[in-house]
Amino acid sequence: MTGAGTHPDHHRISPVFLGIAAIMAVSGWGVWAGLAEVTGVAVFFFVVSGWVVSLCLHEYAHAHTALRSGDDSVAEKGYLTLNPLKYTHAVLSVVLPVVFVVLGGIGLPGGAVYIERGRIRGRWRHSLISAAGPLTNALFAALLTAPFWLDAMGDVPFAFRYALAFLAMLQVTAAILNLLPVPGLDGYGVLEPWLSPAARRQAEPFAPFGLLVVFGFLWVPQVNGVFWDAIGSVMQVLDVSELDVAYGYDYFRFWQGEPAVAVTPQP
């Protein structure tokens, strides 16, 4: 069912997204089957394409929730097609997060869809729109790690196991970073409707710099340690070990050579 006043084409999945999803599927099959001459190359494409797919789903969740809350403009803007090229800032939304994955192995959130908040009534709806994105990352992480916490990893090739672990870790980092109550991030968007007008006006000038502030704090050793401890704790709850994630990152960085790992991973 489409929103009022929207055209069916505004809801049709973009060929761009389908192409990215196809890359994820083919590269994932390559990792599973061990067909790639260098397994890390297949892991790289699987993780990067999977990460872009998750970014698209994150932004779609924001847009779809906004549509259901009264903002029909998201359909006209193309946000419901899952096409990353339709985002307000394609570089910030896709390119920059991918660069940070390659350089630092961290799932960095990026701003993307523009919601016309004036069309939406009710503080709970505004909060839900902001929460929808990181909750999608959390759900994706749960799905990726399902073979771990369902104890179904017995016949899974070790390289695919490690690739899943690393991609899931990126989802967890994105969810946690996005939920921080910092202006410009989704966590602040959840809280903002409940703040006084004066508090919102004071925070508004800092919104464009919120992500940079968070990234800057991550360079502080003490903060960085707390952050990665939190990530590790969540991954442990999902039954994914630090070794799984570390090997996944090593495979992902194929240009440094494949890691020497046991064929049968440790439980």
- What phi and psi, each to the nearest 5 degrees, are found at residue 220? -75, 120
Residue 241 has a CB neighbour count (10 Å cut-off) of 16
Residue 4 has a CB neighbour count (10 Å cut-off) of 8
Answer yes or no: 59 catalytic.
yes
Q: What is the DSSP string of the chain?
A: -PPTT--GGGGSPPHHHHHHHHHHHHHHHHHHHT-SSSHHHHHHHHHHHHHHHHHHHHHHHHHHHHHHHT-THHHHTTGGGT-GGGSTTHIIIIIHHHHHHHHH------------GGG---HHHHHHHHHHHHHHHHHHHHHHTHHHHTT--TTS-HHHHHHHHHHHHHHHHHHHHHTS--TTSHHHHHHGGGS-HHHHHHHGGGGGGHHHHHHHHHTSHHHHHHHHHHHHHHHHHTT--HHHHHHHHHHH-GGG------SS---
Among 37, 59, 76, 258, the one annotated catalytic = 59
Residue 227 makes CB contacts below 8 A (sequence gap 6+) with 176, 218
Q: Give the residue numbers marked as catalytic.
A: 59
